[in-house]
Chains A and B, each alone.
Chain A
């Protein structure tokens, strides 16, 4: 499930002394009014990760935040993070520019079952800032397209202005071997796309529920309703994977902050098979 043993060793070595490794920023791009993407150049040796994993990003003097990795898992010469400016650290990161240095610890956490799902239909459902953590999986699936059945991407955001990776979405939509549906919560009359919650897209898309692996990321409310809808469509709980978010300080299970039921999101998650957290998923204040 998790990274290879060799990678794991590196992680242990890199993270245990809590020392971030400095990466230089090669590009900064504004995606939306509050979201931006930074490309980082790994030091020699490259950067290896599995789709779904995250890094702890450290900005000198401001702090460290967990951010999922959203680039291509097969491209080791570039590390990409899409960040939404919502807190002190991420807002400060918004001011970063090409050439600046950013500390990186990671990768941490479990991954999407991208490789393990060969032979199945792939249903990827993202809400809001949930698309970046799923993008590495999309890259992996598309790079090995022949190994999978139908591939469907459903993506919901607040307004058309909040849609991430527009160009790529257009490219994916143009493919004959991928179904892409985007919906927004609200839009003006000149919007030609869908309006409605992302769960309404499920019944509009084509996949075989008996052999579909669903991967979802979004606000918890969205994921709760999505899981219900997927089960209604006949997808087995075992084939539903969700990525959880909590306040992580260390990434290594030492700080205790990201406990979710009996698990630590940083090392037992962020990606869970739904049955693993089913019991706490509907519990409040867990």
Chain B
């Protein structure tokens, strides 16, 4: 199983161009996962010990507010990465993640990776750079939406 994951990971946009040595380390923490439509991937408040590299499908990040129900904050699809709470203490999910359609992904064990990053700062730095770029994109997207640019009475 592990042998087949390495090339998948190496080709994913998130890990593309990574030192093969590092890809190998990461593969050691990886496993294939599948979520059916409506299946909950994680819930707000739960311990965040993984992140997911989405290969196919769509995931909705949601937050539940009393009275309004679940509000979708963001959706993630093929080629994108779900979750960074495993990187930042207290390692707890801030949102719910629900598969909006059949989703296939590679789950990476955050606890395992955290240790490996501590041991190998080159790997840690490389991963952090890639995550900051994702954080940057999501922040930009959020900021634009904050402007409510389509409102007819701005």
Tell me the A residues contacting B by CB distance below 8 Å: 34, 84-86, 127-129, 156-158, 162, 183, 185-189, 191-197, 199-200, 203-204, 218-219, 221-222, 225
Contact = CB atoms under 8 A, between A and B. Distances in A.
A195 B152 contact: no
Interface stretch (B71-79, B82-90, B107-115): B71-79
Nearest to B147: A221
B144 A195 contact: no
12 contacts: A34-B152, A84-B152, A86-B153, A127-B149, A128-B149, A188-B68, A188-B69, A189-B62, A191-B60, A192-B100, A195-B73, A195-B74
Given A188-B68, A204-B79, A196 B74 contact: yes
Given A186-B145, A221-B147, 14 more contacts: A34-B152, A86-B153, A128-B150, A156-B150, A158-B150, A187-B72, A189-B69, A189-B71, A192-B100, A192-B101, A196-B74, A196-B145, A200-B137, A222-B149
B11 to A, nearest CB: 16
B141 A199 contact: yes
Contacts, number: 76
Interface residues of B, number: 29
Given A158-B150, A194-B58, A188 B71 contact: yes
B140 interface: yes
Given A194-B58, A194-B75, A195-B60, A158 B151 contact: yes
Nearest to A191: B72
Contacts of A156: 150
B61 to A, nearest CB: 8
A135 B62 CA distance: 32
Name the prevailing secondary structure of the B interface residues.
Answer: mixed
A197 B62 CA distance: 16
A189 B40 CA distance: 12
Contacts of A84: 152
B31 interface: no
A200 B78 CA distance: 12
Nearest to A130: B150
Contacts of A186: 71-72, 145
Interface of B: 58, 60, 62, 68-75, 77-79, 98, 100-101, 137, 140-141, 144-145, 147-153
A129 B153 CA distance: 13
Nearest to A160: B72
A222 B60 contact: no
Kindly name the residue among B58, B147, B149 whose own CB sees the greatest number of chain A CB atoms within 10 A. B149
B79 A203 contact: yes
Nearest to B76: A196
Contacts of B98: 189
B150 A187 contact: no
A53 B75 CA distance: 35
Nearest to A35: B152
Contacts of B68: 188
Contacts of A158: 148, 150-151
A284 to B, nearest CB: 15
A224 to B, nearest CB: 10
B153 to A, nearest CB: 8
A89 B68 CA distance: 35
B145 A219 contact: no
A195 B72 contact: yes
B137 A185 contact: no
Nearest to A157: B150
A203 B137 CA distance: 12
A188 B141 contact: no
B75 A189 contact: no
Nearest to A220: B149
Nearest to A223: B149
Nearest to A193: B75
B70 A189 contact: yes
Contacts of B137: 200
A128 B152 CA distance: 10
B76 to A, nearest CB: 9
